[in-house]
Structure 1
């Protein structure tokens, strides 16, 4: 297994995040970190596919699926970052840290490390020597399609809700948001199983390591940067309306709403 590309990705991501830190210092908008993380993941997927020694088919699939997923997410986030004020999660950090730029620099550099950590499933799958189509590769493609289409649909539905002035202060309950408080997060989590299936053929140990993708994403969404911060901000801005939404709607997996 060739580990050198992981180091190069870390160095490139560190430089990229350094530039992002300078940009947020000038604009007071740390949301750029999410755009850069997504873009860094897309580039990492393509880079691994180009330089690693796996068979052509799994490398092409890693490049296409990892690259397109990351690029779509980066573009979606960029539209929000460049057209809206700083996300409430980062405004709260700015208040908590009293605007301390050293803390923000370390935060941005930590995201560079997370690019490497989350890209490990890409790296493993791009070593896969199995050159022909298998049932597992077909399942990987189906999972990727469902996940990316579901996440894209959830993002579009929320964006349409936010653009309507009549919905100001109201919680989105249409489309997928009727069945989950965070359908975008659910499909993001589902997406990472793509690379678990693409890794089959590398041996049980490496397939187990590829599970770091969905496991880490679930942990981050539930405990670190996802649901807790998002819902705390929603309660601050939408109060009782969001509390009622919490009472009736599944937090993660899409399920029929409670009455």
Structure 2
């Protein structure tokens, strides 16, 4: 199959996933399931795109490497979000949609859910270009990408576990998490999630082949979403509302996204 056909297939599959997420969220009255469905769905669908049979070129082990990581990434993130959503109050980002006129909630959630399908399709461009790199043997670029993927999954897992333990301690109620990786970045989980997507252009990019420049789409899209759209902005707004000056001081001391040494308190 050609690149465009695979990407369109990903789009169709993810539209079905996100419509299911929207309907399920309405039934259980919790829009947070949108994030769970997207994580599981994107991981599984993009793994399938990476593993789609080659047309005579490339390397099966490269496909398995990429497909396996995507499945692991999606299952890990989905399981983490599943634990945060199941049996818990609705995420404030989605609960806010019920304010004012609750009758508009279903439509507003639909407009949150459906755009995530084309986002997954854009990520698929980078994934497929990497999986179908014509080089018949694994080489140093594949090893570098594997290192990036391992660092990304370990960093994201560590960030999430540090936050889980912080929230589980009653002594931290009303406080701001500024320890461990969270002392270097206000959103280390998002940073490491973004970092993982930089592995695909490391594998795929060949300046002599113009189409491979499209492999930069995944890290570009994920940075835009996490840093400027659905990640950092709504969370920081919610933290400012709930923590006030404590969080403002945290903002002053700690980098918003890319990890850097913290400023003195």
Fold match (TM-score > 0.5) = yes
Distance 1:95 1:141, change over 3 A: same
1:192-231 pair list within 5 angstroms? 192-200=197-205, 204-231=209-236
The 1-side partners of 2:164 and 2:103 are apart by 29
Distance 1:80 1:99, change over 3 A: farther
Whether the 8 Å contact between 2:204 and 2:215 is mirrored in structure 1 is yes
The 1-side partners of 2:116 and 2:186 are apart by 25
- Runs of 5+ in structure 2 lacking a partner? none
The 1-side partners of 2:118 and 2:100 are apart by 23
Shift of 1:103: 2.5
Q: Which TM-score applies when normalising by structure 2?
A: 0.91
Q: Which deviations, in whole Å up to 9, do the C-alpha atoms of 1:197-233 show, x marking residues without a partner?
A: 1214695423311111111111112211111111000
Q: Which deviations, in whole Å up to 9, do the C-alpha atoms of 1:129-168 show, x marking residues without a partner?
A: 2121211101000111111101110010001111112111
RMSD of aligned Cα (Å) = 1.8
The 2-side partners of 1:125 and 1:145 are apart by 17
SS in 2 for 1:256: coil
Q: Which TM-score applies when normalising by structure 1?
A: 0.93
Whether the 8 Å contact between 1:35 and 1:78 is mirrored in structure 2 is yes
Whether the 8 Å contact between 2:206 and 2:213 is mirrored in structure 1 is no
1:83 to 77, 80, 87: 87
The 2-side partners of 1:206 and 1:44 are apart by 22
The 2-side partners of 1:25 and 1:237 are apart by 27
More displaced 10-residue stretch of structure 1: 217-226 or 97-106: 97-106
Shift of 1:99: 4.7
Whether the 8 Å contact between 2:176 and 2:243 is mirrored in structure 1 is yes
Distance 1:77 1:174, change over 3 A: same
Give the number of aligned pairs.
Answer: 259
| Counterpart residue number, 1:176 | 181
| Counterpart residue number, 1:161 | 166
| Counterpart residue number, 2:68 | 64
Shift of 1:49: 2.8
The 2-side partners of 1:137 and 1:232 are apart by 39
More displaced 10-residue stretch of structure 1: 28-37 or 7-16: 7-16
- Runs of 5+ in structure 1 lacking a partner? none
The 2-side partners of 1:257 and 1:22 are apart by 43
1:130-145 pair list within 5 angstroms? 130-145=135-150
The 2-side partners of 1:241 and 1:62 are apart by 41
1:256 aligns with 2:257: no
The 2-side partners of 1:95 and 1:204 are apart by 51
Distance 1:121 1:94, change over 3 A: farther
Distance 1:197 1:158, change over 3 A: same
Distance 1:82 1:203, change over 3 A: farther
Shift of 1:258: 1.0
Distance 1:138 1:99, change over 3 A: farther
Q: Flag as ranges the 4+ runs of structure 1 deviating above 4 A.
A: none
Distance 1:126 1:133, change over 3 A: closer
| Counterpart residue number, 1:150 | 155
